Amino acid sequence: MNGLRRARTAALITAVALFAAVGVVLLLTTPWESLPGEPPGGAVRPDPTSDFSPAELARSAAFDAALNPPVYLDLVIGLAAVLVLGLTPWGARFLGRCTARVARRPLRLIVAVVALTTLLWAIGLPFDVWRENVLRRYGLSTQTWSTWSVDQLKSLGLRWVMWTVIVLLLFALARRLPRYWWTAAAAGGFALVVAVSFLYPLVVEPVFNTFRPLPAGTLRTDLLRMADRDGVPVKDVLVADASRRTTSLNAYVSGFGSTRRIVVYDTLLKSPPARVESIVAHELGHAKRNDVLYGTLVGALGTSGAVCLLYLVLTSPGLRRRAGLTSEGDAADADARSVALLLAAVVVLTQVSGPVHSLVSRQIEARADAHALALTRDPATFVSMQHELSVRNMSDLRPNPLEYVLWFSHPSGPERIAMARTWARLHGVPEPPARRP
Q: What is the count of structural domains for the chain?
A: 2
H or E element, residue 432: none
| Residues 335 and 186 occupy one common structural domain | no
**Average confidence (pLDDT) over 351-361:** 94
What is the rounded distance in angstroms from the CA atom of residue 53 to the CA atom of residue 63? 15
pLDDT of residue 20: 97
What is the rounded distance in angstroms from the CA atom of residue 323 to the CA atom of residue 83? 10
pLDDT reading at 331 higher than 80: no
- DSSP 8-state assignment for residue 433: P
| Residues 283 and 366 occupy one common structural domain | no
pLDDT reading at 347 higher than 80: yes
pLDDT of residue 329: 47
Q: Report residue 153's pLDDT band, with 50, 70 and 90 as the boundaries.
A: very high
Question: In the listed set 286, 307, 328, which residue is the last one of a domain according to the structure?
Answer: 307
AA identity, residue 233:
P
Give the residue from 187, 173, 197, 195 showing the smallest Cα distance to 307. 187
| Residues 39 and 171 occupy one common structural domain | yes
**Strand ranges (DSSP E) for 346-434?**
none
| Residues 117 and 266 occupy one common structural domain | no
Interval 361-413: pLDDT, tens: 999 999 999 999 999 999 999 999 999 999 999 999 999 998 899 889 999 99
| Residues 145 and 278 occupy one common structural domain | no
SS3 label, residue 437:
coil
> Which runs of consecutive H residues, i.e. helices, occur in 315-392?
317-322, 331-337, 339-376, 379-392
pLDDT reading at 257 higher than 90: no
pLDDT reading at 1 higher than 80: no
> Of the residues 74, 230, 283, 415, which is catalytic?
283
415 carries a ligand binding annotation: no
| Residues 269 and 163 occupy one common structural domain | no
Is residue 406 one of the residues assigned to a domain?
A: yes
Tell me, yes or no, if 38 is annotated catalytic.
no
| Residues 142 and 70 occupy one common structural domain | yes
| Residues 172 and 35 occupy one common structural domain | yes
pLDDT reading at 333 higher than 60: no
Interval 22-31: pLDDT, tens: 999 999 999 9
Question: In the listed set 307, 333, 365, which residue is the last one of a domain according to the structure?
Answer: 307
286 carries a ligand binding annotation: yes
pLDDT of residue 30: 95
**Average confidence (pLDDT) over 148-153:** 96
Its pTM stands at 0.91
Is residue 222 one of the residues assigned to a domain?
A: yes
Is residue 19 one of the residues assigned to a domain?
A: no
pLDDT reading at 171 higher than 80: yes
| Residues 369 and 357 occupy one common structural domain | yes
**Average confidence (pLDDT) over 3-20:** 94
Question: In the listed set 245, 273, 307, which residue is the last one of a domain according to the structure?
Answer: 307
Is residue 283 one of the residues assigned to a domain?
A: yes
The whole-chain average pLDDT of the chain stands at: 92
365 carries a ligand binding annotation: yes
Is residue 7 one of the residues assigned to a domain?
A: no
| Residues 338 and 361 occupy one common structural domain | yes
Give the residue from 282, 280, 266, 267 showing the smallest Cα distance to 221. 280
pLDDT reading at 328 higher than 60: no
State phi, psi for 293 to the nearest 5 degrees.
Answer: -65, -45
| Residues 92 and 167 occupy one common structural domain | yes
Q: Any idea what the CATH number is for the domain that residue 299 is in?
A: 3.30.2010.10
State phi, psi for 432 to the nearest 5 degrees.
Answer: -60, 130
Is residue 103 one of the residues assigned to a domain?
A: yes
Interval 37-62: pLDDT, tens: 888 888 999 999 999 999 999 999 99
What is the rounded distance in angstroms from the CA atom of residue 289 to the CA atom of residue 369? 12
| Residues 199 and 227 occupy one common structural domain | yes
Q: Report residue 181's pLDDT band, with 50, 70 and 90 as the boundaries.
A: very high
Tell me, yes or no, if 369 is annotated catalytic.
yes
Is residue 234 one of the residues assigned to a domain?
A: yes
**Strand ranges (DSSP E) for 44-172?**
none
Is residue 135 one of the residues assigned to a domain?
A: yes
User: The domain containing residue 172 runs over which residues?
Assistant: 31-176+316-426
**Average confidence (pLDDT) over 322-334:** 65
**Average confidence (pLDDT) over 287-302:** 93
